[in-house]
Amino acid sequence: MFDPPPEKLTPELVFRDYAPRIYNIARRMLGNDADAEDVTQDVLLQVVRKLDTFRGDSQIATWLHRVTVNAALAHRQKRANRQKHENGEIDDDTLGAGGPISPGKRWNVGPEETVLAAEQASIIEQAIEQLPEPFRDVYVLADVEELPNNEIGEMLGLSLAAVKSRLHRARLRMRDLLAPHFEGKVTS
C-alpha cells in the first residue's frame, strides 16, 4: 500500500495537528495554564505567518520544537523580570551535586509496563512540576519529548555534558518523587 500524499500545510491543519503539541511542551516547561496558553498563541501565529516557507511536515515539526522552547524560555524570563525575581546564574547544584543515593525499596512494576492510568499520569505530571526549571526543561525535552541530547543542548544553549548531567540529576529527583507511588504498588 502506498502512503497517502502529504497533506498541504494549511492554517487549519497546523491548528489541528500542532497546537496541542505546542501547548503540551509549553505547559510542562512553564508549569501553568496561563503561560502555556500565551506561548501557544504566540507560536501558532508565528507558524501561520510563515506557512509558505515550509516544505513539509518533518521540517515544520523540527522548527516547532525549537520555536516553542525559545518562546517558553523568553516567556519565563519576561515573567521573572516582571516579578523582579533575581535570576542570576543558574545554579547547577540546585538538585545537589551527589552524595549517597538511597536505593529505596524495589518498585513493584513489570519490566514492560508502559501504559499509564490517568491517576499515574497525573502523579508524574505533578512530579515534573516540582523539578527546578533548568532541570525540568532538560527532562521534558529528553524524557517526555524524546529529543536527542545534542538537539536539546542547541535549543537551551548547553554543552552536551551539561545536558547529560542535568538529565541524570532530574531523573534521580523524579525517581525520589515517584517512589512513594510505585514502591510496593500491586500490579495486575
Partner 1 sequence: MTCEELLELLQDYIGNGLVVEHRTTVEVHIRGCEHCGILVHSYTHTVRVARALPKCKPLPAAFEARLRSVLESELKDDKPKGS
Q: Where on the chain is the footprint of partner 1 (CB under 8 A)?
A: 11, 15, 19-21, 23-24, 33, 37, 40-41, 44-45, 48-49, 101, 103-107, 109, 113-116, 120-121, 124-125, 128, 139, 143-146, 164, 167-168, 171-172, 174-175, 178-179, 182
Residue number, 83 or 141, with CB nearest to partner 1: 141
Measured from the CB of residue 87, what is the shortest distance to partner 1 in angstroms?
A: 26
Residue number, 83 or 188, with CB nearest to partner 1: 188
Alpha helices, DSSP H, located in the chain: 11-30, 33-49, 57-82, 118-130, 133-139, 149-156, 160-182
Scanning the structure block, which residue is given the C-alpha cell 506557512? 51
In the DSSP assignment, the letter for residue 183 is B
Residue number, 15 or 81, with CB nearest to partner 1: 15
Burial 137-170 (b: 16+ CB within 10 A, else e): bbbbbbeebebebebbbebbebeeebbbbbbebb
Measured from the CB of residue 55, what is the shortest distance to partner 1 in angstroms?
A: 21
Measured from the CB of residue 25, what is the shortest distance to partner 1 in angstroms?
A: 8
Residue number, 74 or 121, with CB nearest to partner 1: 121
Measured from the CB of residue 4, what is the shortest distance to partner 1 in angstroms?
A: 20
Helix (H, G, I), strand (E, B) or coil at 16: helix
- Sign of dihedral through CA atoms 131, 133, 134, 138? positive
